[in-house]
């Protein structure tokens, strides 16, 4: 060192080097993609919220129907059949069984089972309001629901 003071260079006032046009286009594409991703995420949250709301309302309606004052039991079915005038079971089949149609049902007059009524169980158990709410228990075309079943107060 010669004893001379150290000089620090002043920052350059020259313009920044030019940016390649393809870099600018790439940045624009990345911004568009980012906005697209943000939009998709927002849409996902909206759709999720809608489905959560639908699920919650479905569970709530099922809970309300399970606490209803209707009796879906085999005994309620037998009471309704007695009023209806049909036979409890018979026509070559048991009254209670794992029938395709669940709950209390009979057949229309044009069927060979017209005078008989049956009770379809679910896994060997009585039908409940909750099961009625969750399953399509509409009788097939030759069957009918027995009037007065379920017995609701």
As a three-state string, the secondary structure of 68-101 is CCEECCHHHHHHHHHHHCCEECECCECCEECCCC
Instruction: Extract the tokens encoding 29.
Output: 């594409």
Instruction: Extract the tokens encoding 109.
Output: 């007059």
How far apart (Å, rounded) are the C-alpha atoms in residues 120 and 101? 6
What integer pLDDT is reported at residue 59 of this predicted model? 53
What integer pLDDT is reported at residue 110 of this predicted model? 79
How far apart (Å, rounded) are the C-alpha atoms in residues 84 and 116? 10
How far apart (Å, rounded) are the C-alpha atoms in residues 22 and 40? 27
What integer pLDDT is reported at residue 118 of this predicted model? 95
What integer pLDDT is reported at residue 33 of this predicted model? 80
What integer pLDDT is reported at residue 89 of this predicted model? 93
Distances (CA, A) of 141 to 36, 80, 81, 87, 132: 51, 20, 19, 20, 19
Q: Is 45 helix (H, G, I), strand (E, B) or coil?
A: helix
Non-local (6+) Cβ contacts of 84 within 8 A are 106, 117, 146, 147, 148
How far apart (Å, rounded) are the C-alpha atoms in residues 31 and 50? 29
Q: Is 151 helix (H, G, I), strand (E, B) or coil?
A: strand
pTM beyond 0.75, yes or no: no
How far apart (Å, rounded) are the C-alpha atoms in residues 42 and 95? 55
- Whether the CB-CB separation of 80 and 149 falls below 8 Å is answered with yes
pLDDT in tens, the chain (153 residues): 566 776 666 665 655 555 555 666 677 787 888 778 787 776 676 766 666 665 555 555 444 444 558 999 999 999 999 999 999 999 999 999 999 888 999 988 878 888 899 999 988 888 887 777 676 656 666 788 899 999 988
């Amino acid at each position: 060192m010669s004893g001379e003071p150290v000089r620090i260079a002043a920052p350059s006032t020259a313009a920044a080097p030019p940016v390649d046009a393809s870099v600018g286009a790439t940045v624009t594409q990345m911004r568009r993609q980012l906005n697209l991703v943000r939009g998709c995420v927002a849409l996902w949250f909206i759709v999720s919220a809608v489905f959560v709301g639908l699920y919650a309302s479905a569970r709530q309606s099922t809970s309300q129907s399970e606490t209803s004052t209707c009796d879906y039991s085999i005994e309620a079915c037998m009471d309704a059949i007695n009023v209806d005038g049909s036979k409890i079971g018979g026509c070559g089949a048991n009254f209670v069984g794992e029938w395709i149609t669940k709950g209390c049902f009979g057949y229309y007059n044009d069927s060979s089972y017209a005078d008989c009524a049956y009770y379809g169980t679910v896994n060997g158990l009585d039908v409940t309001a909750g099961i009625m709410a969750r399953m399509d228990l509409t009788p097939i075309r030759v069957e009918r629901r027995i009037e007065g079943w379920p017995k609701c107060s």
